[in-house]
Amino acid sequence: MGKTSMVIAVAILVLAASGCRDDENKRLAEMAERNLERQAQQERRNTELQRQVADGTRRLVEADADARQNITEMQRNVQAERQILGEQRDRLEDERRQIAAARNRDPIIAESIKAIGLLIACSVPLLITLQILRRGDTPDESAVVAELLLSDMVADHPTIVRLVDATPEKSSADAVDRLTDRRDSDSHP
């Protein structure tokens, strides 16, 4: 635009200088002046628009850089969250496997405990019966003890039981002394 308006202004000046009338020259000069002013205003507006476009472009580039930085940061955050979610998912999967293993193992343990309890409950009557049968083979201990005591009491010189005279002249302290003496003499052969 600047070159064409310059060409027009030069053409107007050349025509004015070539000898047209003064009125016409004045009018052409005024017209050229107005065109030059308009051209200068347009150039100022164009310069201002170019400056505004440059500022807008600079702000756009800055905003784009900020947006890219924000997007990069958000992508990092998303990746970090994905990693955390992956780790949590892995832990949940491990816990699920452990629970499943425990669910499979617990009934087996419970059945084993029941079987052992049933085995013990069934063997108690058998053990009692075995104990009774074993005692039946040996002579009755109370009968043996009773017979030993009777034979000692009937003997002329009893070794286990000595009958104590319970006459009123003798005190119970004497009887206790005699029993104690008897025990001492039995313990020392």
Is residue 166 predicted with pLDDT exceeding 50?
A: no
Is there a domain that residue 175 lies in?
A: no
d(CA 14, CA 18): 6
- Average model confidence (pLDDT) for the chain? 80
SS3 per residue for 77-93: HHHHHHHHHHHHHHHHH
Asked if the structure places residue 55 within a domain, the reply is yes
For residue 139, is it within any domain? no
User: Per-residue pLDDT tens for 120-152?
Assistant: 988 888 888 888 777 765 656 777 777 888 888
Structural domain span for residue 34: 2-121
**Is residue 81 situated within a structural domain?**
yes
CA nearest to 49, candidates 1, 16, 121: 1
Residue 186 lies in a domain: no
Domain count, the chain: 1
* 67 pLDDT more than 90: yes
Q: What is the pLDDT of residue 27?
A: 82
| pLDDT > 70 fraction of the chain, expressed in percent and rounded | 73
**What pTM does this model have?**
0.36
Other C-beta atoms lying within 10 Å of the C-beta of residue 16? 19
* Amino acid (one-letter) located at 87: E
Residue 80 in any domain: the answer is: yes
Please check whether residue 88 lies inside any domain of the structure: yes
Average pLDDT over residues 68-79: 95
**DSSP assignment of 4-55:** HHHHHHHHHHHHHHTT--HHHHHHHHHHHHHHHHHHHHHHHHHHHHHHHHHH
Q: Does 132 fall in a domain?
A: no
Could you give the CA distance from residue 183 to residue 167 in angstroms, rounded to a whole number?
22
* Model pLDDT for residues 9-58, shown as the tens digit of each residue: 777 766 666 655 567 778 888 888 888 899 999 999 999 999 999 999 99
In the predicted model, is pLDDT for residue 179 greater than 60? no
